[in-house]
Structure 1
């Protein structure tokens, strides 16, 4: 564990912010909640001290309880996030957003080392496409250093970056870290080319923030989407490439997949699909047996090029079951992985249980299973074909990864037709 994390866990670097400290009744309530949390970690996590030592865990809990008179609610919750992060697996998390919270009115996304605004509320629409330079004088690099040790849902550096993009907007977390002040507007510094803009911005409700997204509106390639009766999965048939594209955005149940299998097989047989593209980008998980059900449905189709015609698309959000299915499809479907590395670790703690704290009503999760999906140690499923989305494509609604893959498939079609013609 690095020194910064130890300092945060053991309380030697308490940051004081302008917010109301806990009163005695609130302190007692939090002591009960913290003890409940600590007990559940020790008895319900499958292997709680695989990364954080039991001694460090116990000291962090005791220090937190001792320092409650000096802390406000946001600081207590931020400290619990840090302890959960130090446990060391992306399925064991303290869920700050299970209580009242607000967000700053932006969604952010990295393009290379540049963090851009990709969506904003109507008042700040003109900032979409600008680069975030700093918040209250802290650069993006400094913000990353402060947030990284407390971010939830992290298995590796790729899910850490995705989590940072989202949680940078969480006002209560920034308050708990001392980055912003309670009741005061926050200074945001944006850059667009040679122009700069500094604005004082207040947070908005979760309802308003929830309307925002970091997903682009895909214009290219143009897809004709079919509902195949598997909630969370849609199909587009790409005739020019003889490809079937599955946008696997979220997980149906295995029963929902199998009940529609015959109809899906008939659709693909009629279309003469030769290539399969299964898109797990942006999918943070579900029931991986549903993914296996889809693979079982597809495997009988002899028309598919099972030697070089199956592709799985991934990114830093591809996590949990979506990462598991990626690793499985590489084996059982002979799939090539395309895009950027997964946010999930293929040898990971998973299948979490959720717990409700008795006083605050806040929630946390703990891992209860361990899955080693590949023999060698690796922090991610790395792509066979690495394609990095670009800001210019994103801005225009072009899906860089899918577009470049379709160009490859078109080339394979031309080469295959040329070989066939020569043989004749």
Structure 2
């Protein structure tokens, strides 16, 4: 079926003809062919230089038949196929902000659920997505997955909910032919329904969604770089680490006042002092939403935790990981596994324990497409693993989410 969709796309794109373009795609392709291998740590760890060059030549041969968007997508697909999650072509400048389906999708144990939309589409909230325009969701995902490097199932669960509402991407694969798409859903009563939905901007005045009630700890401060909470009822010390950035390790491209950023050094001292001053039953370090940054600060904290007898005991220290745990957060997850007696709970990570990273960016000279690439290789295990698998796998259901349960936290508390 995947091949059928791709063949359908090729027929549509050739039949429609290329748009008039001021972009010199041949110049961009030549630049990418020369500069990306030169700048990247090792672009050819998964596929060969011959594969890369042949792929670029094939794209160049189609430049007079394809639109600018289609050319950009083909470059994105080729770079994604080289196997480095940190190396990719950004399509941001080619996305039409008016051509997004008003869907906030979340992947739960049941499948992909509509968690948010606009008021006029409120009837589909809580629905499980089965098909788009009659094409089964697994086939749609199979096609969209070529736009990203896919290391494992966790990568798919993390990236696909964000890609499915992109009408231009659906058109590229022949899944959609207009800004109106027929969704096939299964509602919470188990009934199957077909629903026509059209592109629409979502804002505070028209947005509706399923909100957990009550809101569990893990969702209370998602925007904070890091924070902690002493759960007196369960005698648990909860630490949530959402970004590997701080005043000491400033986010890439940050233009504000550095002093406005939280200090991780102060946070680390607060954690250590809190643990020393209390006799918690359990200590939970939650990095399930952490997409990375600079791993050094986390590594230093974990080293200090490893020396504390009150923390580093089997059955007392727990680390929550998940599909959004990526990059530097993966390094810190491996630090916990290698340096401490922590028990890892949650879902598999979207990145590999050994991975390329420490990214830089370059811009293609004619199109202006931004290309991110890796400059360093991080090795944390001698095993060839495509994910970090927790000691106990727990995936939330939509029912858990809606009723305000965090099954991972609750499982830990009950041990």
Band the TM-score falls in, shorter-chain normalisation: 0.7 to 0.9
Question: Is 1:369 aligned to 2:382, yes or no?
Answer: no
Answer yes or no: is the 8 Å Cα contact 1:254–1:290 preserved in 2.
Answer: no
Shift of 1:303: 2.6
Alpha-carbon distance between aligned partners in 1 of 2:219 and 2:63, rounded to the nearest angstrom? 56
Aligned positions of 1:75-94 closer than 5 A: 75-94=70-89
Shift of 1:98: 4.4
Residue 389 of structure 2, aligned match among 371, 376, 382: 382
Shift of 1:239: 2.2
- Normalized against structure 2, the TM-score is what? 0.85
Paired position in structure 1 for 2:253? none
Alpha-carbon distance between aligned partners in 2 of 1:249 and 1:145, rounded to the nearest angstrom? 29
Aligned positions of 1:168-183 closer than 5 A: 168-182=164-178
Paired position in structure 2 for 1:264? 271
Question: Is 1:53 aligned to 2:48, yes or no?
Answer: yes
Change (3 A) 1:247 1:15: farther
Unaligned runs of 5+ residues in structure 2 are 249-262
Q: Specify the SS of the correspondent of 1:204.
A: coil
Q: Specify the SS of the correspondent of 2:371.
A: strand
Paired position in structure 1 for 2:236? 243
Residue 139 of structure 2, aligned match among 137, 142, 152: 142
Question: Is 1:115 aligned to 2:130, yes or no?
Answer: no
Shift of 1:359: 2.7
Q: Specify the SS of the correspondent of 1:14.
A: helix
Question: Is 1:310 aligned to 2:317, yes or no?
Answer: yes
Answer yes or no: is the 8 Å Cα contact 1:257–1:294 preserved in 2.
Answer: no
Q: Specify the SS of the correspondent of 1:312.
A: strand
Question: Is 1:275 aligned to 2:282, yes or no?
Answer: yes
Q: Specify the SS of the correspondent of 2:10.
A: coil
Alpha-carbon distance between aligned partners in 2 of 1:53 and 1:225, rounded to the nearest angstrom? 46
Residue 160 of structure 1, aligned match among 156, 159, 162: 156
Change (3 A) 1:13 1:106: closer
Higher helix share: 1
Residue 351 of structure 2, aligned match among 330, 344, 350: 344
Paired position in structure 2 for 1:201? 197
Change (3 A) 1:158 1:267: same
| 1:34-74 CA distance string (max 9 Å, x none) | 32222222211111111122222111111111111211233
| 1:19-39 CA distance string (max 9 Å, x none) | 67232x43x522222322222
Q: Specify the SS of the correspondent of 2:64.
A: helix
Q: Specify the SS of the correspondent of 1:149.
A: helix
Unaligned runs of 5+ residues in structure 1 are 409-424
Shift of 1:197: 3.3
Alpha-carbon distance between aligned partners in 1 of 2:347 and 2:124, rounded to the nearest angstrom? 27
Q: Specify the SS of the correspondent of 1:69.
A: coil
Shift of 1:135: 1.1
Alpha-carbon distance between aligned partners in 1 of 2:241 and 2:210, rounded to the nearest angstrom? 14
Alpha-carbon distance between aligned partners in 1 of 2:207 and 2:68, rounded to the nearest angstrom? 27
Paired position in structure 2 for 1:284? 291
Paired position in structure 2 for 1:232? 225
Alpha-carbon distance between aligned partners in 1 of 2:379 and 2:208, rounded to the nearest angstrom? 33
Answer yes or no: is the 8 Å Cα contact 2:9–2:173 preserved in 1.
Answer: no
Residue 214 of structure 2, aligned match among 213, 216, 219: 219
- Over aligned residue pairs, what C-alpha RMSD do you find? 3.2
Residue 67 of structure 1, aligned match among 55, 62, 85: 62
Aligned residues: 395
Alpha-carbon distance between aligned partners in 2 of 1:246 and 1:134, rounded to the nearest angstrom? 39
Alpha-carbon distance between aligned partners in 2 of 1:321 and 1:57, rounded to the nearest angstrom? 27
Q: Specify the SS of the correspondent of 1:402.
A: helix
